[in-house]
Chain A
């Protein structure tokens, strides 16, 4: 069941009606039942993994209450369990064939091929949630919850199950504990988020994805540099709008239940530096990586090098963090390359800022801020080539990009969805609010609403439906 389908809309409506009809004590259990039902619709085996990891997380969390030496092994057990689940379900198909090849190479008998293991839906997201809960409890940032139903909902909450956002237990369970008032303002904001999400996904992301030929990133030598450049920009807009659309949609759905989910995007194409970019792109994952990988490594490095100027101190934390990000996205050499490249970007940026200290971003002249935006966008766009294809083909792609001899121009149709996506971003940027549209005059809001509905109606006749990119990770 895709979350852009009518069946999902019907499912949400049914759960919503029951949610508000039932007494307060039954609302959270109902959401949990609804979440497991949603998961069941996606696959029975997915529920088993989810339940096991939920029970383990809850039980181990209780063991961490005293935060003494006896708790430490439990913390590592909990982390290991989640990482093992990730490794087994997500990475076995990558590592096992390579291990087999290696064993064969050194003369040991090995005959295990690819295991063809199905990745349980949402595993990459709820395992990170479980780890963050355990670490936060161990570090005293949170207390372990005694509410199994609440914790199970934290892990399985259906609007965010498929592809996040990656929530923190403290905030999520706190919301369940507080009264949740859903008034006209909340409903309007939630419906607006849903509409923006649908437009981003169906009108911008899916249309762009459909306009990029599959061969562009498989056999780039067939195409001219302007064509490849056009498709590369389209790819960036497609990935961004796909995931931003998904997040907006699920935040809107969750808002109707009175539960606010974290934002994952904050105008990433307006980032003036790489450090800023990762506070604006896939924010909840970036924050997770920052808190549980970047900071611990940085602290350790700074203990050895208090000045923080050694190359290892500058480069190792971002490199390790971005490699982990690449690995999380998928165990492919291309993803790891993407991670490494972005880690290097961050390291270089940090080294430059140490060598030539400059004003804070907000106080820099406008031209410099825009130059930063253009530079970050360009480099991030180029770094997406290995995100999409193998390192070998990426090299071919870059080589072809530098061969500006053919006069074939990019496909002008790309401008339609890119223009629409940019219009949404630009309006949000000018209004400094993702729902800046709600402050527009009523006639303008009505015009925009009519346009959005018309666009959705028109694309509904095109058979280009694609799954959300980030639900595959």
Chain B
């Protein structure tokens, strides 16, 4: 083999050989011990009730902070009531539009029976994601009744409205749905990690703004998961404005088609578990909202009919509302969200209607037990 002044060989190769001894890995073992001690201390601290009461709603590494807040509220609700009998499930229309306390009062007045529901309404929770949430709710809390608030626009084939990314992509959701992963397991079992995840995005430029928004969202949600709003929208029938929110609706609905995936999600939701009775109520929209659809009411009815067919197939009651004009213009804070007074009217109507269905024997009320009275 010839070598150049700087060592370039003309031809020739040497071998690589591993010569490892097996020393006692003191440093690595010590480091592991330190980590275990630190993790143990943090975990123990995070589980102390005195610490917990000062902490924010834990995070499950999910892109929807509102989902996490609702999950925290539900956990506390279940703890106080020793279980969950009834859940309102749906999107922000449910979150803003159904008041569990009022619902219970009206229902009790009508039937003499107690039915306290938890409002698990989450912004952007479309039927596809709602099916996953229903599955987890049923597995974890075994509610006897799920009252699903149908949001017809969320059937659109355009995904512009849904929760950012599919809920099902998140490790913890997958874990809860029976697909184990180290991340999912860790999030499910570690209080300390869930608390850290609340501030995990500290290196982002918008962290403080996001934290403030989350604080407002947390403060605006009561212990039953209901998030009332006191504002009233004017000009409900005016043409859509170019603001971001309304432009999103226009983009998503101007060429409305029913998404087979969303319909499939809706079907899965209705067949979540034979032991859990499901009833669907169409969440009311202001007639002014129909302007977002390319073909107005015709598009809307296409979506509603598709949902009705699925519900009929599975013998699930679907209560239509939008054409009933249940809420006057003063009851809306946007074209698709009720304000506090609108929510009261709608909740009253829904509780009365459900009471009638119970009295007629069309809905079997879950037997009294834990989960009714927190």
Contact = CB atoms under 8 A, between A and B. Distances in A.
Interface stretch (B25-33, B305-313, B330-338): B25-33
Range class of the B interface residue count: 35 or more
Contact of B200 (A140, A142, A147, A462): A462
A: contact size bracket = 35 or more
B48 interface: no
A454 interface: yes
B79 to A, nearest CB: 26
B50 to A, nearest CB: 24
A70 interface: no
A442 B23 CA distance: 14
A258 B20 CA distance: 13
A179 B14 contact: yes
A171 interface: yes
B323 interface: no
Given A176-B13, A177-B9, A180-B14, A461 B35 contact: no
A449 B31 contact: yes
A210 B264 CA distance: 39
A101 interface: no
Given A170-B8, A174-B8, A177-B12, A461 B196 contact: yes
B34 A447 contact: yes
Given A142-B8, A183-B20, A449-B31, A413 B14 contact: no
A147 B197 contact: no
B10 interface: yes
A119 interface: no
Nearest to B33: A446
A177 B10 CA distance: 9
B31 A27 contact: no
B202 interface: yes
Given A143-B2, A147-B12, A454-B38, A174 B30 contact: no
Contact of B16 (A27, A168, A207): A27
A445 B302 CA distance: 67
B25 to A, nearest CB: 10
Nearest to B15: A24
A461 B204 CA distance: 12
A36 interface: no
A453 interface: yes
Given A210-B203, A450-B31, A442 B7 contact: no
A184 B23 CA distance: 9
Interface string B202-222: 111100000000000000000
A457 to B, nearest CB: 9
B7 A449 contact: no
Interface string A135-155: 010001111111100100000
A257 B17 CA distance: 9
A464 interface: yes
A442 B205 contact: no
A404 interface: no
Contacts of B27: 442, 445-446, 449
B54 interface: no
A28 interface: yes
A102 interface: no
A381 B152 CA distance: 56
B205 A211 contact: yes
Given A142-B4, A142-B6, A171-B6, A150 B16 contact: no
B203 A450 contact: no
A174 B15 contact: no
A213 interface: yes
A32 to B, nearest CB: 11
B39 to A, nearest CB: 9
Contacts of A178: 14
A238 to B, nearest CB: 11
A25 interface: yes
Contacts of A174: 3, 6-9
Nearest to A411: B205
B204 A464 contact: yes
Nearest to B201: A462
B13 A150 contact: yes
A442 B16 contact: no
B5 interface: yes
Contacts of A206: 203
Nearest to A65: B10
Given A450-B34, A461-B197, A210 B18 contact: no
B31 A213 contact: no
A184 B26 CA distance: 14
B1 interface: yes
B21 interface: yes
A169 interface: yes
A14 to B, nearest CB: 16
A99 interface: no
Interface of A: 19-20, 24-25, 27-28, 136, 140-147, 150, 168-171, 173-174, 176-184, 187, 206-207, 210-213, 257-258, 413, 417, 442-443, 445-447, 449-450, 453-454, 458-459, 461-464
30 contacts: A19-B16, A20-B16, A24-B16, A27-B16, A136-B6, A141-B5, A142-B8, A143-B3, A143-B4, A145-B9, A169-B8, A170-B5, A170-B7, A174-B9, A176-B14, A177-B3, A177-B12, A180-B15, A182-B16, A182-B17, A183-B20, A210-B205, A211-B203, A212-B205, A445-B30, A446-B33, A449-B31, A450-B35, A458-B196, A461-B61
